[in-house]
Structure 1
Amino acid sequence: MADFGGSELDAFAAEVRKELAAMYPPELKDPKAKTDYEAVWGGRAFAGSNDPQIVWMKRMAEKGWTAPTWPKEYGGGGLTPAQARVLDKELAAGKYRQPLASFGVWMLGPVLLEYANEEQKKEHLPKIIGGEIRWCQGYSEPGAGSDLAGLQTRCEDKGDHWLINGSKIWTSYADKADWCFCLVRTDTTKKHEGISFVLIDMASPGVETRPIQLISGESPFCETFFTDVKVPKGNLVGRLNGGWEIAKRLLQYERQNISAGFGEGGSAGGASGDLAQIARQYGATDDTDLRRRITENKMNFQTLRQTIARSAAESKAGNGPSATTSIIKYAAAEFAKERSELMIEALGHQGLGWEGPGYETPEIVAVRGWLRTKANSIEGGTSEVNLNVIAKRVLGLPDPK
């Protein structure tokens, strides 16, 4: 589908504006309206739920607007990149809540479109778009973090099924997920060429998850154990032993989307709210050096957002994500950590609270968010690994001798 011109896009924007207003549940129009925190992720836990967030998600999914550029034949919106940008702008302008937060949309879906067979696409893509299944990512292992290709979780061919044994670590929200897209070893004689990409139902016998408590007090990550887990043969995506290619592609999508979550108010940034406004609120603007650093940070994030938008447009144009996602991921992690540190500095002595009287909830959230940002340079590929990718794939530098 070709992009529309200016007047046609204006008409499309007017139509989108009208439809969004009609679909948005009245209960969510109050910015302070509370809903189940987990509802935005969807999944089996919310099957049949009347939570306003779920109602909003389902209405958007019926239009295909939870994955606006995906093909209509799989339940997507079938929009052009230009139309998708119009939809994004209207959602932002109307201050609508995010209809669906999904690893399926951000990471798994794009690689399924590229590598899965037709049966797998028809089975999984509509459920991702509809928020019916919540996904988690089974990549890192206790002995295979930065060296991901060193993973040892075994997947054996048992004739009519695969048998999986091993463990994963730092599996985000594994304890809440319905399914897992997972890297497994199907050939022990080769490293990169011995890895396959499989889909695992987390309700399968032999799957166990254990949340890991972080220094921030939260437990978004888990240890995941697979003990004689039987997986249907049809759950192998792509070629047998061809999972490393898919893994690299998925990591590019992950880095692109993690980066998009950083910034002013971005959930991945740890702290929330306008940094300059908070500095004024706490009387920190008399410090000229702090003002300068806050301004620089805001400028950096504005530049980052524009870079992300350009990269996303290039990806949607059919080129797919490139190694430049490593530049974006590295920069986003550094800017987010800097922003949280500036937040704590602006709060002054109120930035020392952890719990108890004397500290407001946003102050405690800021402190814990500051600790949370330490993971930004690890998740989705460590900063060190991303710098290596930039050196080799972007700058073309030779390997050190």
Structure 2
Amino acid sequence: MDLSYSEEDQAFRVEIRTWLEDNLTGEWAALRGVGGPGRDHEMFEERRAWNRHLAAHGWTCVGWPVEHGGRGLSLWQQVIFHEEYARAQGPARVNHLGEELLGPTLIAFGTPEQQQRFLPRIVAVEELWAQGYSEPGAGSDLANVQTKARLTDDRQDWVIDGQKVWTSNAHLSQWVFVIARTEPGSQRHHGLSFLLVPLDQEGIDVRPIEQLTGGSEFNEVFFTGARTDADLVVGEVGKGWPVAMGLLGFERGVSTLGQTVDYARELAGVVDLAKQTGGIDDAVLRDRLAGLSAELEVVRAFALRGLSSVEGGSDSAAGGGAGSIFKLVWANWHQRLGEVALQVAGPASLLARESGTPYDLDEWQRLFLFSRADTIYGGSDEVQKNILAERVLGLPKEPRG
């Protein structure tokens, strides 16, 4: 695989780097590095305003086709955009689920009417989306979904009953895409439908979940007779599983490469801390830091190779399970970084500051605590390993009780 960039790609890198340097100043300068995992509550309204500033200058949905409001950037140009955005410490964007997950899914599977209704509002950051996948009994095992939806007698609306959990930013969103069982008596991945549901209505109760890191970006969402229009089902009724899996393919797409730039910055910060504390003189600790640096280069190279061989929206077995492998590798790498960060910080890392409510964490404590979830959200390690074993290597399926 050729990992070099063309002259056109290099010119684009200069363009986006210059634009970010010129714009992340003045009123926007305070947003550098704000938000992100475990910190989604930070300066939300200001970050939404910044996202709308990006939209006004054509820097949202950059990989979407031009006819759907995007820039139609090539794969490598999308990689460059996300790398430069991370290097500039652009604030965490509030529209990730709409821009990187639902939008591409509607482009691939949605009707023209659905595309016309929702895509322009995602591009303009006018409507935000939450993901209604996980349930108390269907987290990593998504095929065990029990939330139900039925058509009204006049076939004008879906009526939805059930519960979703770990729903990112549902308390800040206007819409949620929901996997629901629409065929009574169906089991596993059969009889599921992919529905688009407005959150601001009677019959929906959103309850934020307080996290170890102090924020509440995850939520429980209860549906009790909630409604959505009958035509707001993506794909065929009862055949929502391929749509749901296609969306997960987009989730592990090009935007994840920006993570590796953020991780490199975190690693550099831990190295600087080790120099300040004298921990860098410990041969064992220095070896762990060197190992993390080498591993991160391998993670990035693997991600680039995987992205070049997998079409967006493909399921998790595509490209020899490239998406599943990437998820396993970066999640475990990031957890090890969090562990090393606390080792470098020493005994002080065991104490939280009392300035917050109920406590306030420093950067390394937050990194360690939030990274505990890395191997769970977005598909747990166990699920990724099952995908690789059963669907890529062809091993016998795990017995189900």
In the superposition, the TM-score normalised over structure 2's length comes to 0.84
In the other structure, the counterpart of 2:385 is 387
Out of 276, 281, 288, the position equivalent to 1:281 is: 276
Write out aligned runs for 1:99-178 (5 A).
101-158=95-152, 159-178=155-174
In the other structure, the counterpart of 2:338 is 340
CA positional deviation for 1:369: 3.0
CA contact (8 A) 1:297 1:339 kept: yes
CA deviation map 1:101-129 (0-9, x unaligned): 51112221221111101111121112212
CA contact (8 A) 2:61 2:71 kept: yes
CA contact (8 A) 1:259 1:333 kept: no
In the other structure, the counterpart of 1:194 is 191
CA contact (8 A) 1:333 1:377 kept: yes
2:79, 2:34 → 1: CA distance? 28
CA positional deviation for 1:16: 4.5
CA contact (8 A) 2:267 2:293 kept: no
CA contact (8 A) 2:209 2:218 kept: yes
Change (3 A) 1:257 1:337: farther
CA deviation map 1:46-104 (0-9, x unaligned): 5xxxx4x4454234323432211211222111222344344445545655545655111
Q: Which amino acid aligns with 2:206?
A: T
1:130, 1:222 → 2: CA distance? 25
Change (3 A) 1:355 1:17: closer
In the other structure, the counterpart of 1:232 is 229
- 1:27 matched to 2:27? The reply is yes
1:232, 1:24 → 2: CA distance? 41
Out of 359, 362, 365, the position equivalent to 1:364 is: 362
Change (3 A) 1:213 1:15: closer
CA positional deviation for 1:215: 3.4
Change (3 A) 1:35 1:173: closer
1:226, 1:248 → 2: CA distance? 23
Change (3 A) 1:328 1:93: closer
Change (3 A) 1:179 1:372: same
CA contact (8 A) 2:32 2:89 kept: no
CA contact (8 A) 1:337 1:374 kept: yes
2:33, 2:137 → 1: CA distance? 44
Change (3 A) 1:92 1:343: closer
SS class of match (1:65): coil
CA positional deviation for 1:318: 8.8
Residue ranges of structure 2 left out of the alignment (5+ in a row): none
CA contact (8 A) 1:172 1:222 kept: yes
1:246, 1:67 → 2: CA distance? 20
2:140, 2:35 → 1: CA distance? 37
1:74, 1:119 → 2: CA distance? 12
CA positional deviation for 1:272: 7.4
CA positional deviation for 1:19: 4.8
CA contact (8 A) 1:81 1:316 kept: no
SS class of match (1:200): strand
Change (3 A) 1:16 1:289: closer
CA contact (8 A) 1:41 1:100 kept: no
Change (3 A) 1:298 1:320: same
The two structures, once aligned, show a CA RMSD in angstroms of 3.3
SS class of match (1:167): strand
Flag the structure with more relative contact order, 1 or 2, with Cα contacts below 8 A and sequence separation at least 6: 2
Change (3 A) 1:258 1:206: farther
CA positional deviation for 1:207: 0.6
Write out aligned runs for 1:45-84 (5 A).
51=46, 53-84=47-78
CA positional deviation for 1:312: 3.0
In the superposition, the TM-score normalised over structure 1's length comes to 0.84
CA contact (8 A) 1:350 1:363 kept: no
In the other structure, the counterpart of 2:246 is 249
CA positional deviation for 1:335: 0.8
1:240, 1:260 → 2: CA distance? 34
Q: Which amino acid aligns with 1:303?
A: V
CA deviation map 1:144-199 (0-9, x unaligned): 22322111111001111110011111111222221101100101222212100001
CA deviation map 1:265-323 (0-9, x unaligned): 449x9x77622112112221121111111111122122112222333344468978733
CA positional deviation for 1:225: 0.2
Provide the aligned length of Structure 1 versus Structure 2.
384
2:384, 2:196 → 1: CA distance? 26
CA contact (8 A) 1:272 1:366 kept: no
2:263, 2:333 → 1: CA distance? 12
SS class of match (1:133): coil
CA contact (8 A) 1:326 1:389 kept: yes
Q: Which amino acid aligns with 1:137?
A: Q
In the other structure, the counterpart of 2:303 is 308
Q: Which amino acid aligns with 1:299?
A: A
